[in-house]
A and B are shown apart, each in its own frame.
Chain A
Amino acid sequence: MTKKKRSYLEFLYVLPFLVLVALMSYYPLYGWIYAFHDYMPPKPISSETYVGLKWFQYIISNPVRTADVIRVLVNTFAMSGISLAFSWFPMVFAVFLNEIHCKPYRKFVQTVTTLPNFISWVLVFSVAFNVLSSTGAVNAVLTELGVIEKPIAFLSSRDHVWFRMWLWLTWKNAGWAAIMYLAAISGIDEQMIEAAKVDGATRMQIIWRITIPCLLPTYFVIVMLNLANFLSNGMEQYYVFMNNFNKKSIEVLDLYVYNIATTGRGNYPLSTAISMLKSIVSVALLFITNTVSRLVRGEGFI
């Protein structure tokens, strides 16, 4: 077999998978075309349904829609902003977990706090529902203790939704996110810490002067990734926790595009137009944060 022939043959082996990637990941970009049509399924799009930038203008020209989009953007920024503001939490969680000297206890805490990362949002919601519903554990205990007279409607209230969503996100992810920092901590040079001890440093001083500074590069990458995903909270968490009471505050961009496409008669073109704008901004954010990362650390994350 000649070298050339082999080189093409090897390409042929991967070709079916390249086609699959093209269909599953690139072809959906073609779906953006629906944003430029008056698309009403099941009628297919044609040159007659073409409306140009109508739906993009509609976002700005229709006051109700504009107000809606602004509300959704505020929700998105709030949720992502809170996550960003507390993004140090897994790092601190890892640092102090590492201070626990009893190994079985440390392992136990790590195991138990990582588990929620592996269950779906539906299960998280089920857990929340079972524990926080009017007959759930929390209300049962509070009533028993006489703290409250009537059960608190934890899940069907609009108060502090942004913060509560962050709490659930943290409940699910913090233990898992801490593992990366634990790995980084185990890579810190032992000599440095020994030297600090010889010099009489206390544990807090070692944490503050050695451990945390050694973790900052990792933390920086996390912050950059957070920024790159600022508009993309995903819809699953908010979808399962959404109800008529909290809908106004819980709708983030990803959930909003789903809701406008599926409620009522379903406005697919508008939803697609908003998705499209979001995707473009997200890619721009990714490039910006990657460039910042390259300038600061000398290497990007793409």
Chain B
Amino acid sequence: MTVKTAPGQSRHRNPMERQSAGDRVISVITYIVYAFFAFVCAYPFYYIIINSISANNLSERGKVLFYPMEIHFKNYSRMAGIPGLMDAAKISVLRTLIGTVLTVIIAAFLGYMFTRETMWKRKLWFRFVTVTMYFNAGIIPWVLCMRNLHLNNNFWGYIFPMIVQPFYIILCKTYCESVPRELQDAGEIDGAGTLRVFFSIMLPVIKPILATIAIFAAVNQWNSFQDNLLLMTNRPDLNTLQYVLWQYITQANSLKALLSNTTNSNAILAGLATAATATSIRMSVTVVVVLPVMLIYPFFQRFFTKGIMIGAVKG
């Protein structure tokens, strides 16, 4: 009898089974090695979080390693006062919201439309869209052309280049094709047009795949850094959180200037535990940028297998 197990579930095991000595040695080594992998992946995040809530004069000297010391939340309550940070957060949230909604709607609509056999030259247009996955002009020609389209130094430069994603369209198309054709036919017999069938019949049915796409699109938008770097060269007010964080890390001088402008320079001299330091800002901003991803992470774990198959689906 063939037993299908879900991905990620171990196969061929029976707890009562006798293990040979060799097998047991392998077991022990496996457990230890994977504990190491898990530690390497998890500890850095833990380290940053405990440091961001520990006394800043201790974290500055690398003293906080295993647990938070002299806990305080000043680093977070002070955040609103860091110039530019709130604006960047606003831009990041906005682009994530708008970008995700549009990506999902377009993927759903085009995915559905490309299943309509009645459409004029359907196969050709489908190819026209999906073949863009396989070539790339290169970043500089791309930037020059985006400039011609006035998408540089423009918020929509974050949105338009990212919302038509062939991967997601293929995914939606495949999903639509798996829906029984009778469902659409029934609607059409009742007199619904192409759009009506989409909004009233197909959209509710394909929701599960749209949830998957929404999550991946949102993470992509939130994490996007390169378009900020390439396109928004003269508009610091359009910088995203990713970019601002990167500036804080690489331009320690500007961070220092920023600190001495605030009233806390005296506090630094006095060696106060809650005085903002370059390290404290870096760490707390890192936590803020990583937190949204960490918070939705448990919810989208079940979409993993689908998500990875996005890359494996044929066009």
Say how far A65's CB is from chain B's closest CB, in angstroms.
Answer: 16
User: Looking at chain B's contact residues, is the secondary structure mostly helix, strand, loop, or mixed?
Assistant: helix
Q: Are B242 and A122 in contact (CB under 8 A)?
A: yes
Contact with B along A265-296 (1 / 0, CB 8 A): 00010011011101100110010000000000
Which B residues touch A123, using CB under 8 A?
223, 242, 245, 286, 289-290
Which A residues touch B312, using CB under 8 A?
180, 221
Given the interface pairs A118-B297, A203-B23, the reply to whether A171 lies near B40 with Cβ below 8 Å is yes
Q: Are B164 and A20 in contact (CB under 8 A)?
A: yes
Contact with A along B29-48 (1 / 0, CB 8 A): 01101110110111111011
Say how far A180's CB is from chain B's closest CB, in angstroms.
Answer: 5
Answer yes or no: A163 CB below 8 A from chain B CBs: no
Answer yes or no: A64 CB below 8 A from chain B CBs: no
Which A residues touch B204, using CB under 8 A?
none
Q: Are B245 and A122 in contact (CB under 8 A)?
A: yes
Q: Are A193 and B12 in contact (CB under 8 A)?
A: yes
Partner of B225, one of A11, A122, A176: A122
Which B-chain residue is minimally distant from A276 (CB atoms)? Answer: B138
Answer yes or no: A140 CB below 8 A from chain B CBs: yes
Most buried by A among B34, B51, B230: B34
Answer yes or no: A67 CB below 8 A from chain B CBs: no
Q: Which positions 250-268 of chain B face chain A at CB distance < 8 Å?
A: 250
Answer yes or no: B65 CB below 8 A from chain A CBs: yes
Answer yes or no: A109 CB below 8 A from chain B CBs: yes
In the complex, A228→B159 CA distance in Å?
A: 28
Q: Which positions 110-133 of chain A face chain B at CB distance < 8 Å?
A: 110-116, 118-123, 125-127, 129-131
Contact with A along B1-33 (1 / 0, CB 8 A): 111111111111101000010110011001101
Contact with A along B227-264 (1 / 0, CB 8 A): 00110000000000011011001100000000000000
Say how far A88's CB is from chain B's closest CB, in angstroms.
Answer: 16
In the complex, A286→B315 CA distance in Å?
A: 14
Given the interface pairs A107-B8, A129-B282, the reply to whether A121 lies near B225 with Cβ below 8 Å is yes
Q: Are B3 and A190 in contact (CB under 8 A)?
A: yes
Q: Are B3 and A272 in contact (CB under 8 A)?
A: no
Q: Are B125 and A31 in contact (CB under 8 A)?
A: no
Which B residues touch A131, using CB under 8 A?
43-44, 47
Partner of A112, one of B41, B135, B164: B41
Which A-chain residue is minimally distant from B243 (CB atoms)? Answer: A122
Q: Which positions 186-207 of chain A face chain B at CB distance < 8 Å?
A: 186-191, 193-194, 197, 202-204, 206
In the complex, A183→B10 CA distance in Å?
A: 10
Partner of A302, one of B3, B60, B315: B315
Which A residues touch B125, using CB under 8 A?
11, 14, 18
Which B residues touch A98, using CB under 8 A?
10-11
Which B residues touch A35, using CB under 8 A?
141
Say how far A170's CB is from chain B's closest CB, in angstroms.
Answer: 10
Q: Are B164 and A206 in contact (CB under 8 A)?
A: no
Which B residues touch A46, using CB under 8 A?
none
Answer yes or no: A9 CB below 8 A from chain B CBs: yes
Contact with A along B103-120 (1 / 0, CB 8 A): 000100110011010111
Answer yes or no: A28 CB below 8 A from chain B CBs: yes
Known: A30-B141, A100-B10, A204-B26. 5 other contacts (CB 8 A): A103-B9, A112-B38, A186-B11, A236-B225, A261-B140
18 residue pairs A–B, Cβ–Cβ below 8 Å: A10-B113, A10-B194, A30-B145, A34-B144, A100-B30, A107-B8, A113-B38, A115-B294, A119-B293, A123-B290, A129-B249, A130-B48, A131-B47, A186-B4, A203-B22, A236-B226, A274-B138, A275-B140
